[in-house]
Each structure stands twice: as C-alpha cells, then as structure tokens.
Amino acid sequence: MPGERLNVRGASEVGRFHGAAPPTLVEVTIQEGEKKQEDGACRRWLRKMCPCCCQRGTSSYDLTDKVEALKPLVPTPTPIPTPTPDPPKPDGNEMEVLALTVRAVDLLGSRTGQNRTEHHTHLFQGDELVIRRGQTFQMELEFNRPFSANTDKMHLNLRTGPLPMVSKGTHVIIPLTDELEDERWEAKVVEQDGNRVKLSVNSTPRAVVGRYGLTVTTCPAGGGGAVATHDADKTIVMLFNPWCEEDTVFLDEEEERKEYLLNDIGRIYYGTENQIGARTWNFGQFHEGVLEACLYILEKSEMPPSGRGDPVNVVRVISAMVNAQDDFGVLVGNWSGNYSDGVAPTAWSGSVEILRQYHASEGTPVEYGQCWVFSGLTTTVLRCLGIPTRSVTNFQSAHDTDVSLTTDVYLDENMEPIDSLNADSIWNFHVWNDCWLARPDLPQGNGGWQAVDSTPQETSQGTFCCGPASVNAIRSGQVFLKHDTPFVFAEVNSDKIYWQRNLDGSFSQIHSEKKAVGHHISTKAVGSDERADITHLYKHLEDSEEERIAVETASRYGSKPEAYSTPMAEDVSVEVKMDGEGPQMGADAKLSILVKNLSAQPRRTTLHSQVAVMYYTGVPKGTVKKEKIPVELLPNEEKTIDWVLPYQQYQDQLVDQAALMLTLSGRVFETQQVLASQTTFRLRTPDLEIKPLGDAVVGKKMAAKITFTNPLPRTLKAVVFRVEGLGLQKGHQVVVGDVAGHSKVTLTEHFIPTDVGPRKLVASLDCKQLTQVHGVADILVQEP
C-alpha cells in the first residue's frame, strides 16, 4: 500500500527488541518434502517482521523433529540487554496514509487585515471575523501533515441558530472547488506551505445574517476511511452587504455608503416647521459591545434564523424590537413628562449607552425614549447589521388613528374643538427612518428608500411596528402596497378636514386644509452637517395635479372615501406669522395674525383664539389662554393683529419640547365661509457652549469647557449634565444641582482621546423645568 513501512530486522538486532532472548546456536536438519504447504497469517507476519529468521526458498519445506542442540563451546554468562524504547505497536495506520486532521484554524480577523478591510468592517472593535455576504474572505488551516487534493477530502460547516438545518440555510456546507463562482458557497485552496493551507471562501448574497459557528470536516478522498471533524471554537459574524450588487441592500454611490452605513455620528432634527432645531447624535454602530447587542436583539426577537436573510423581515423585526411596547424590546416610550425613575428622553445623546445597558441587563427595557431616540437607535442597529439607514424628521406630522387617510378636526356648534372626538393629531415633528432596500416583493419601481418607524404609535398586524413602506409608493398614493403605507402616507400627505356638529347631532364637513401636514421633511446631508430637505421624495409639489391625484387616489382606500366634497369659494384668508426664530423661553411669546380680504366687498368675522400647551405629538395638555377677536375688513384689505402670550401664563404649564398650539377658527358673516387654522410653535431654549482646551492628540490629556446660562427668572432644580464623545470619552453624567435664575454654570471636562480623526464631544442638560438643551464641539484628534 502507498506509504507502507517494512520493519526489516536482522539477527544482530534481535536483542534490542522487548521479549526476545539472546540466540542459542542450533542446528536444524531440513528434509525436502513432496507436498506444498501454505503459510499461516502468523507466519507471514513473523517473516515480514524478521525475514532473516524465517526465510522462504524456492521450494516448500517441512520441518522435522530431528533437531540437535549444540552446547556453547565456551561457557559465558548471559548478557544483560541495554534498555531501549518500545517499538511502535503495529496497527492499521502503519500500512495506510496518516489520516488528515485539523490542528488549528486562523480566521484572519484582525481589524487591519485583508478580510476586515475588504469587507469594510475594520471599524468594528475587536479581532472577531466580521464579514459581509456575497463576498470572498480568507482563512488559514493547519493540518497534522500536508494536504493533498488527490487523497484528501475536506469541507467547511457554518451553523447559526438553535437548530441549524441545510434546508433553511442555517447549516451551510461549503465544498472545495477548483474555481470560485459567484452567488454560491464555495472554498478554494489559494496557498499551501507545508502543513498550512490558505482558503478563499465565497458566500452567497442571500446568506442568513448573524453569528455562525465553524467546523472543518476531513476524510480520505476515496471514501471508506475515518471522518474527522474539528471545531474551530471561533465564530464568524455575517452582515448585509451594500457593496454587493446581488444583495438586496446594494447602494450604488460610495459617498452615500460612507454616510448611511459607515458614519457613526449624525444629526437629528426637531422643533416646528418654522423653528427647526438640530442635535448631534452618536449612533456608535462600531463601538465596543454594540454589535453584540444588535445580534442579541435579533436573537431575542424569536425571529426564525432562516428569515434573517431577507432584509425586509429584519427591518420589520427591528422596528418592533427597538420599542418595548409588546415584546420587551430595547426602549420604553414615555410622553408623560414624569421620568423620575429613568432618564428623560431629551437627556440622551446617543445609542451606545442604551444598547449596552439593554444587553448587559439581559433584555430589561431601558427607560425612557421618544421618537428621536427610537429613530437614533434604529439607525444604529440597522447600520450595524449592514443596511443603509438615515434618521428622517417630518414637520407637521399627522397621526391618523382611524385609517381615513385624512386628519379630522371636530368642532361644536360654537366652533370650539371637541376634545373627546379629536383623536387624530398632528405632531409638531416626528422622527422615523429611511432604509435602502430593493423590494422584490412589490411591483417594480418600489425599491430604494423605505420608511420604517420604531416609535410605538399604532399596531401593525398586532405588533407595534411600522414599515418598511416604499417611499415611491407613498409619493404616488399606492397605499394598498405593504407594509403600513397608508399610515405613513397620512403622516406626510393627508388633508386636514374640519367637521362641525349640527344642532341635530350630525356633522357636516365645513372646511379642508390641503397643506396642513408633511412639511420640510429633513435628514442630514451626505458628507456634511447641513440639513437636506427630502420632501419631494415623499410627496409631489403642493397644489400640483400629481399631488391632488395621489391624495384622492389614496383616500379611496381609507375609511372615509367620501371625505372630499365640492370645494366652496373662499375670499378671506387667515395666517399666523412669527418674527425671526420665534419666541424665547422665559419671555413673552409674540406672534402676528394676518387676515386678508381678497374680495371687492367688505367682510366681517370673529376669530376664536385658543392656545394650548402641547406635547410634541400634537396631543394637548391643557388650554392656557382663550379669547375672541372681532375682525372687520374693507374690500381688498389686509390687517395684522398682534397676539401675545405672557410668560406668567405659561411658565408652570409647559411640558417636553416647550410646544404650544394656537387654534384660530371663525365664520365670515357675509358668505358663511369657514376660517380655520392651527399653528404650532415652540419656545426656544439656549444651547450649551462647548470650547475645547489644549491640543487634541491620541493618548494626551486635554479638556473642554461647557457653559450654560439659565434663561428663566426661576431656579432650575436637580440639574444634570450628560457628556459623551466617541473616541474621546465614555458617556457619563455630572450632577450639578440647583441653578439660580439667569445664572451661569461652567463645567470643565478632562479626557484622553483614543481615536484619530474628526470627533464630536456632545453634552446635554437634563432637568424638569427645562428640556432640549444640548451642545456639540468638533474636535480633530491628531496622531501622537
């Protein structure tokens, strides 16, 4: 057999083997016989082991009993043999090729190595192998002897989930091939040096994402030999791949991939349509512990591992798991204004602390969040898993509770709002997400950006989640396409319909606003901190024929398809104006009401004015001021009415975001035209000023000074600062205590930068009397 080793030992070697006695001189008489005798197995083995003692001639021999022993000529003592090691025991391997086994596996997971660099995963912390599907990667195997393709057979096994199955794609068997082909699992030997072999492994662009365990199986090429399996005791993390054209998350533009996948710091917009604020958010998808937390969320969702290959499924599950409403997800929503047993939503500046706390507590939901926190978390998780994602803010965002695809406002006989019926609301702003996906499950043309919302508002198929809904479908009014397209359509493009209660208890449609919702839809621009307006992606131009067709097409699928009646003539308009960036916190709020008469006849009306403190979700907390304003207009006259809300009237009434809503309604006496308008505004809060001190160098201590001035004439109680900066310092809080009215607080932070490049130091202030106070400083960290 190949590789057979014959142990030929002469007579002079006998004394070196255990159990063999020294030779005694003997004489053997041999008589030739006539009958041929076959050797037994023992005799054949003896002849092979010691041919000199058991020779075979050309004829058959018989041994006779005629043996005469000769005594030694000179008596000598028996020598004591020298101790030697035991010879190898004869077994099957002595005559066969040594079985191939794996001694070690190197996944080449170094952050600076070829795998992590080519797969754009070098930003993740640690040396675990993190790769993207649909792309080749390398690994090295060390065997107990050189690998031979002619005599050895080998394949890799990747397993994920609690019950891996080949049919479900959760147990992948990767064979060796001579050449790699696209879109399939295969491996090829690309280098061999002695006992070491380097493999290039190719994965399919439809592979299940998640954490895989690896084993290597070896056996003889001809079959029939022993099969050996080596457990690598290492894991491979597989992610979606926006660089792979065959992956359904493929994004063609490199600059967009850098922004929507690799950028770990962004901006989230808030406020009102006329007072747009921005805050820096640390997404931190590559930060230590975040990848583990995101994979934990996938596991905790109880989503079948076989479904993790479809990004539509993954996005929908993450939308549900980011909120804790019905599945013990990551974050508890709270809009009550009472956050004493947790962290106020406005105090968070990033996702890292929330995700790590959730993972460390083995799935205990973190308290508390509101829409921008849910959106920031969703951006972090989806970017971490490899899906291009951005946070998106919609100003004047409708919340349609009855699937009418309109926002309905109910008034009584005296034009006063009927609070018990006004379930629909218009949020000052609402933050959700866009993620980039192909949609092979929808008609062609609906791929690209998809709206997904993790804020728990309404259930979708029994779960608090929303999306992914095709933005193209939303724009065209195709609300019959999944998932949750009608709800998102209403958020950005519904009309506000006013209904008045009649004396007999019935309701009549008295007015409609066609430009009420969906304004200044905003996201961070690619490659800069500027705001990009993407309203045109969600809706056609206001008053265009395409916009009207989309709205009325969508309304046919709502619960009130008859909502659109013949519009009545209108010649009086009312509009609310605001100077500059609007009123400041701690001062009187001043607005202007502009009333226009577009007819050649005089007009008279009485405006019912009501201002309510609001949650930013559009839900009123309570009315703080009501009045009636008589207005008389000459033909073609414009009149400006000053409107003032004194500080004393709102100082003890405000809730999160310091938002208020001014509702104006009235009826023109001469024409019975209904006037109706709702305007939201917020009281602006000051920013934190952050000034870096000293040079920013890796490993060198530096400082930053944070300054805050209380804008109120009253004391702020239990003030807490929260400070964090990716690559600068870990998030932590600093308890300041009480801050007197109009006084200044200065805080100096000392830290040692750890990462080179542009970094951001972010700080926020948290106290009950004043929210949404934050600041950011850009710091460029140099090499030492």
453 as an active site residue: the answer is yes
Token pair belonging to 578: 């605001």
* Catalytic pick among 453, 495, 656, 766: 453
Strand partners, 749: 704
Per DSSP, the three-state class of 101 is coil
Distance CA 491, CA 399 (A): 6
Name the catalytic one among 120, 287, 399, 430: 430
Rounded to 5 degrees, φ, ψ at 564 are: -95, 110
Helix (H) or strand (E) holding 555: helix 545-555
3-state helix, strand, coil in the chain (%, to 5): 15, 40, 45
Half-sphere exposure of 583 (CA within 13 A, CB side): 22
Report which DSSP code applies to 547: H
Q: Three-state DSSP class for 316?
A: helix
Q: Give alpha helix (H) positions in 406-493.
A: 471-476, 485-493
Sign of CA dihedral 245, 247, 253, 254: negative
290-300 helix and 311-321 helix, angle to the nearest 10 degrees: 90
Distances (CA, A) of 25 to 70, 80, 130: 6, 18, 74
Q: What angle do CA 55, 57, 58 make, to 5 degrees?
A: 155
- 430 among known catalytic residues: yes
* b/e code 619-637 from CB counts within 10 Å (16+ = b): bbbeebbeeeeebebeeee
Quick one: tokens of 244?
Answer: 């792979």
In the beta sheet, which residues pair with residue 344? none
Name the residue type at position 114.
Q
**Neighbour tally for 475: CB within 10 Å:** 19
Label the pairing between strands 366-369 and 331-333. parallel
412 is catalytic: no
Please provide the distance, in angstroms rounded to a whole number, between the alpha carbons at the two ends of the chain.
64
CA distances from 450 to 249, 527, 652 (A): 11, 21, 41
Q: Which of 371, 435, 465, 466 is catalytic?
A: 371
DSSP letters, 681-726, are EE-B-PPPEEEEES--BTTS-EEEEEEEE--SSSPEEEEEEEEEET
Query: Does residue 269 have a cis peptide bond before it, meaning omega lies within 30 degrees of 0?
Result: no
Question: How many CB atoms are closer than 10 A to CB 71?
Answer: 7
User: Which sequence positions are flagged as catalytic?
Assistant: 371, 430, 453
